[in-house]
Amino acid sequence: MAADWLGSLVSINCGPTLGVYQGEVSSVDQTSQTISLRQPFHNGVKCPVPEVTFSAIDIKELKILDIRNDNARTNSATSTKMSSLSVAVPKGDPRSVEKLNSPQQCSKSHLDALGQLKEFRRRHNSWSSSSRGANQVTPKKNGVKNGQMKQRDDECFGDGVDDGLDTDFDFEGNLALFDKAAVFSEIDTSERRNGVRSRGTPQDQTPSRYRHDENILEAKPVVYRQITVPQPGAIEYCTDSGLVVPSISYELYKRLLSVAERHGLTLERRLEMTGVCASQMALTLLGGPNRFTPKNLHQHPTVALLCGPHVQGAQGISCGRHLANHEVEVILFLPNFVKMLDSVTSELTLFNKTGGKQVSSIKDLPDTPVDLIINCLDCHENTFLMDQPWYRAAADWSNQNRAPVLSLDPPVSGQGHAVEAKWSLSLCLPLPLAEGAGRVYLCDIGVPRQVFQEVGIKYHSPFGCKFVIPLHSA
């Protein structure tokens, strides 16, 4: 009967206009199709009136939150009838929606299923605490026992939780059941039987290892000897990637520069390009980005530049100008010669505009070790300079200063080296240098490929994305 639902707690959704009401069922009138709620709450706020009546036309959804009348649970032989009001079960429940219409019966099993939601609904409604009985006390969090905690978990998440999930899974034991060798052997046997090339077992096959900058998809074989010269020198070098760079004689080197100058690569352009590449290498040797930072302005590196009255000296002065522009303290040693090349004079004029220091005597050079010495004393053609007093004094100062030395465009090995260098920077193509030249580097001064072809050199640039690369003895 409709009276069996009296005292139950329900939630009535009347749409967006009227809102949601919650309260205790005080009366159900089947004739007028109305239902009344005692002590109602409207949208979570208690209503000022003690009772509200709803018509079936205004009700969009009706949810039974708590069945207070025990007769509705125990009366299994009697069929109960209600008005055509919808009783909605929470979404996801197997009993999705039960409609209690006047011609439809609601059995005891349905009522028991709704009764199981009692504690769940009580915990998840804002007004459920006020609907507890006098003997119902909310347990304190700090004093909850393990049994009560487990009961609350069962109320929230259901009592069908498998207790076996508390046992940790034995990964090692499960992995021991898998015989990888037998599986790979079976795969290999199957592939051989079907005529498919076997991939092999991990023990039989060593995977290829590639660097992060290597291309694993090679369209064609790599040719490592991409530079061939008509008269190869006595030494061959190779780059980090394995490309062979042969050395050339000084006669071929001089002819190459002559053809390049005839095509427009003048001495001024070569001096500027050499100065840029040499200064970039020197900045890297001095510490690079780790040292040249705004927070390190009190520790400017000091570079001593030893130059002579020739093209190599002009290259060194150009390098010193770029270093001075990058906040490096450059000390240029250049004796007072009666006659100097025009290129040396022009480069010296530009260097003096940077604020660098120029000295003409060895006594004016620092007594303490500097950060780097750039040696530009040697000349390819004039070997008599090595007998000059200023040359011997500069070489002795360099060898006693205990600073690392970078030789710029050093001569071939037959002439010897008065200054022991740690690094040597060659231009365009290397010359056969002696062991005293240190580690050899190569810089690109911009000679076009057609110029190489004109002197009989088959040339393919080994520089890649750089202008200065290291060379190794092949």
Dist. CA 224–CA 379, nearest whole Å: 33
Residue 240: count of CB within 10 angstroms of its CB:
11
Dist. CA 4–CA 72, nearest whole Å: 6
CATH of the domain spanning 232-473: 3.40.50.10260
Residue 391: count of CB within 10 angstroms of its CB:
19
Dist. CA 114–CA 96, nearest whole Å: 11
Looking at 2.60.34.10, 1.20.120.80, 3.40.1010.10, 2.30.30.100, the CATH number of the domain 2-129 comes to: 2.30.30.100
- Phi then psi dihedrals of residue 43, to 5 deg: 55, 40
- What one-character DSSP code corresponds to residue 334? -
- CA torsion sign for 42, 46, 47, 50 is positive
The DSSP result for 113-171, as a single string, is HHHTTHHHHHHTSTTGGGGS-TT--PPPGGG--HHHHHHHHHHHH-S---GGGGSPP-H
And the tokens for 66? 């708590």
Asked if residues 230 and 459 have their Cβ atoms less than 8 Å apart, the reply is no
Residue 307: count of CB within 10 angstroms of its CB:
28
Positions in the chain short of pLDDT 70:
1-2, 68-155, 157-166, 195-208, 215-216, 218-219, 338, 413-417
Dist. CA 98–CA 120, nearest whole Å: 18
Asked if residues 366 and 331 have their Cβ atoms less than 8 Å apart, the reply is yes
And the tokens for 444? 């690109």
pLDDT at 441 (0 to 100):
97
Dist. CA 226–CA 137, nearest whole Å: 90
Alpha-carbon torsion angle 362, 363, 366, 369, nearest 10: 60
* CA distances (Å), origin 242, targets 245, 264, 319, 339, 406: 9, 32, 29, 45, 24
pLDDT at 381 (0 to 100):
82
Task: Count the residues in the chain.
Answer: 474
Asked if residues 380 and 410 have their Cβ atoms less than 8 Å apart, the reply is no
Instruction: Enumerate the domain spans of the chain.
Output: 2-129, 232-473
